């Protein structure tokens, strides 16, 4: 394994990555593509023709489709073979998540079951719990759900009040309380429930079966979108749970919840990537049929600009999602090679890349919101009609910025996690931050007139990272331990990190494609990269300036503003022509083919 390939989570900020050390979607093998095709066929034949009925809360149909998915093996992609699954790696599971993400609200049903409804048992269950439940979850005999959220404990799950008490004979836990927004709750056979035992500081996790005495399930919630996914409240009134259904150690539930949320975040970005591709394809097909002023609307520059931006953002989202997914697989493989148990290695690999998972969740959800919003706009008045698929896509997308921790919470987690790792010595942030501060005092290099295309982009990425280190270092010095309370600064720093990671991931993907495609075929991907990096430079500059203007004064402020200008300087890009080129390929193909 090369040095670069073994980058730790969050380390992208202070170390460079080589193109050959990342995974790109163009590298999926035949077996992986066959799995994706099975998912596509299932969506096309079973889900999409029934989506209107699913939106009416038809629980029987949802259960039927989940069982059919189980029969095809789609529910057991990540489950080891000894428990009835396929035992595929993280990247493969992400590909199937992406393809299933095109199934509107049913995608949520599928993802909740295969992710947060199944994996807590796989990663934290005893051997007895795994043998008892995983084969049923993998086959679709059981449908899984996850019950963490409470009315008074949304973004702070550890403050939940659902309680558990061990019976006097030690054979049962007695649960009392209620949970809200439980995805799959109306159709699930199995629930991963979080509660505090006695006066414990932290949550514990329990496996609860549907027919448990004292456990009741409320009616379906009426929601803005994802109507095809069952969402209910659940209640515990002296519900008796077998003591052996404690999942993981006592007091360990909060840690389980955090790990599973990290997993759910990056999986969500896979699903949004798939949904984005589907919406873009539908939108261009409509634009290629709809005429105004005697010509197809796909010929208008304003429409082309929208279509191109939809592609650019979705391409970036896909690039960073699969880069991070392979990083997780590499980390897991390395830990196993060092002698760690497979389940523990999975947990640790996902934990290591919590920063990247939050980045992917934010960028993916905000990209899909942009794509579906512009999709409605291209459709015009018809986009507002429930007869058109883009109307459902628009409503179903909105939850993703709230799911798996709001995007605001995730932005603060990104910066907080990086700083925590720096303070623990896991990442050396101080040395590069000092180097940037010293560089501000030096005369800048102007470079040569002729620079290799990818070398120019690499230097831009390096400079983007310098802006982050400069602002974060100064802010930490200014606020020290109270920086966590300066939420606007944290949000700005997070945006700088998100755009930098997206730009670098896309640059590395296009650079890798450089060895696969001829210059003519590569041109559209360079256009995508050029436009995104120009936009990223602008947005990083704005976020940095807003932060500096808030907390810096005098010479320090002027020096940092000059540094910001220097580090976000990019060569001028003809974005109009670039966007037209990107859109023209989409229009000609009449489908998403990037």
* Count of Cβ atoms closer than 10 Å to residue 446 Cβ: 6
Helices 453-479 & 407-424, crossing angle to 10 degrees? 80
- Contact between 539 and 530 under an 8 Å Cβ cutoff? The reply is no
Cα dist. 570→67, 311, 460, 463 in Å? 53, 22, 7, 10
Pair 114, 101: CB distance under 8 Å: no
441: Cβ contacts below 8 Å, ≥ 6 apart: 559
Q: What is the 3-state secondary structure (H, E, C) of 531-549?
A: HHHHHHHHHHHHHHHHHHH
- CB contact at 8 A, 572 and 537: no
Distance between CA atoms of 8 and 327, rounded to whole angstroms?
8
Q: Is 391 a catalytic residue?
A: no
Contact of 570 with 460, CB cutoff 8 Å: yes
Which residue from 14, 13, 421, 16 is spatially nearest to 4, judged by alpha carbons? 16
Closest to 24 measured CA to CA, from 102, 96, 91: 91
Residue among 133, 156, 153 at smallest CA distance from 143: 133
Residue bearing tokens 């659940």: 234
Alpha helical stretches, state H, 101-242: 105-114, 119-124, 127-139
Q: Which residues contact 59 (CB under 8 A, 6 or more apart)?
A: 186, 187, 230
d(CA 12, CA 469): 12
Q: Which of 493, 507, 426, 428 is nearest to 465 (CA)?
A: 493
Residue 163: helix, strand or coil by DSSP? strand
Cβ(189)–Cβ(181) under 8 Å? no
Residues 6+ apart with CB under 8 A from 530: 573, 575, 578
Q: Which of 99, 374, 404, 504 is catalytic?
A: 404
DSSP letter (8 states) at residue 297: G
CA gap 493, 400 in Å, rounded: 22
CA-nearest of 508, 419, 418 to 16 is 508
* The residue count for the chain: 594
**Using CA atoms, how far apart are residues 477 and 488, in angstroms rounded to an integer?**
17
Cβ neighbour number for residue 582 with a 10 Å cutoff:
26
**Contact 243/170 with Cβ under 8 angstroms?**
yes
> How far is the C-alpha of 269 from the C-alpha of 579, rounded, in Å?
24
Q: What are the residue numbers of the active site?
A: 404
């Amino acid at each position: 394994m090369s040095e670069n390939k073994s980058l730790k989570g969050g380390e992208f900020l202070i170390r460079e990555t080589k193109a050959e050390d990342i995974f790109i979607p163009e590298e999926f093998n035949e077996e992986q593509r066959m799995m994706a095709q099975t998912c596509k066929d299932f969506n096309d034949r079973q889900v999409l023709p029934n989506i209107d009925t699913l939106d009416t809360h038809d629980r029987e149909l949802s259960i039927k489709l989940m069982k059919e998915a189980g029969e095809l093996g789609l529910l057991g992609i990540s489950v080891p073979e000894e428990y009835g699954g396929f035992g595929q790696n993280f990247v493969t599971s992400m590909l199937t998540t992406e393809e299933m993400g095109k199934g509107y609200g049913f995608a949520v049903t599928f993802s909740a079951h295969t992710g947060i409804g199944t994996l807590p048992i796989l990663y934290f269950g005893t051997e007895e719990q795994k043998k008892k439940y995983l084969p049923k979850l993998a086959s679709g005999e059981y449908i899984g759900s996850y019950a963490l959220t409470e009315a008074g404990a949304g973004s702070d799950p550890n403050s939940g009040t659902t309680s558990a008490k061990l019976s006097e004979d030690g054979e049962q836990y007695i649960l009392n309380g209620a949970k809200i927004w439980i995805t799959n709750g109306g159709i699930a056979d199995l629930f991963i429930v979080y509660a505090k035992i006695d006066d414990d500081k932290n949550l514990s996790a329990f496996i609860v079966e549907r027919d448990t005495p004292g456990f009741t399930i409320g009616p379906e919630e009426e929601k803005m979108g994802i109507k095809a996914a069952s969402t209910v409240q659940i209640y515990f009134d002296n519900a008796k749970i077998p003591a052996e259904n404690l999942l993981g150690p006592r007091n360990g539930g909060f840690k389980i919840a955090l790990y599973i949320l990290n997993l759910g975040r990056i999986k969500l970005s896979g699903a949004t990537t798939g949904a984005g591709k589907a919406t873009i394809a539908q939108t261009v097909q409509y634009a290629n049929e709809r005429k105004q002023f005697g010509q197809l609307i796909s010929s208008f520059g304003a429409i082309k600009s929208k279509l191109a931006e939809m592609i650019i953002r979705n391409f970036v989202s896909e690039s960073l999602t699969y880069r991070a997914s392979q990083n997780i697989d590499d980390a897991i493989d390395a830990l196993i090679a060092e002698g760690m148990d497979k389940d523990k290695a999975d947990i640790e690999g996902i934990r290591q890349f919590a920063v990247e998972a939050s980045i992917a969740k934010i960028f993916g959800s905000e990209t899909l919101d942009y794509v579906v919003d512009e999709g409605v706009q291209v459709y015009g008045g018809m986009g507002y009609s429930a007869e058109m698929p883009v109307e459902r896509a628009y409503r179903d997308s909105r939850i993703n910025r709230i799911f798996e921790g709001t995007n605001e919470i995730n932005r603060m987690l990104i910066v907080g996690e990086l700083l925590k790792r720096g303070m623990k010595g896991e990442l050396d942030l101080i040395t590069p931050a000092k180097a940037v501060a010293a560089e501000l005092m030096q005369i800048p290099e102007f470079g040569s007139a002729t620079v290799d295309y990818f070398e120019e982009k690499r230097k831009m990425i390096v400079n983007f990272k310098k802006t982050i280190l400069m602002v974060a270092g100064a802010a930490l010095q200014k606020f020290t331990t109270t920086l966590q309370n300066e939420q606007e600064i944290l949000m700005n720093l997070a945006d700088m990190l998100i755009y930098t990671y997206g730009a670098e991931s896309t640059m590395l993907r296009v650079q890798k494609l450089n060895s696969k495609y001829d210059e003519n075929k590569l041109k559209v991907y360079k256009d995508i990269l050029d436009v995104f990096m120009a936009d990223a430079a602008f947005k990083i500059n704005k976020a940095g300036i807003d932060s500096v203007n808030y907390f810096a004064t005098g010479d320090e402020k002027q020096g940092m503003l000059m540094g910001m200008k220097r580090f976000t300087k990019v060569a001028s890009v003809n974005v109009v022509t670039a966007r037209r080129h990107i859109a023209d390929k989409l229009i000609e193909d009449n489908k998403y083919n990037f």
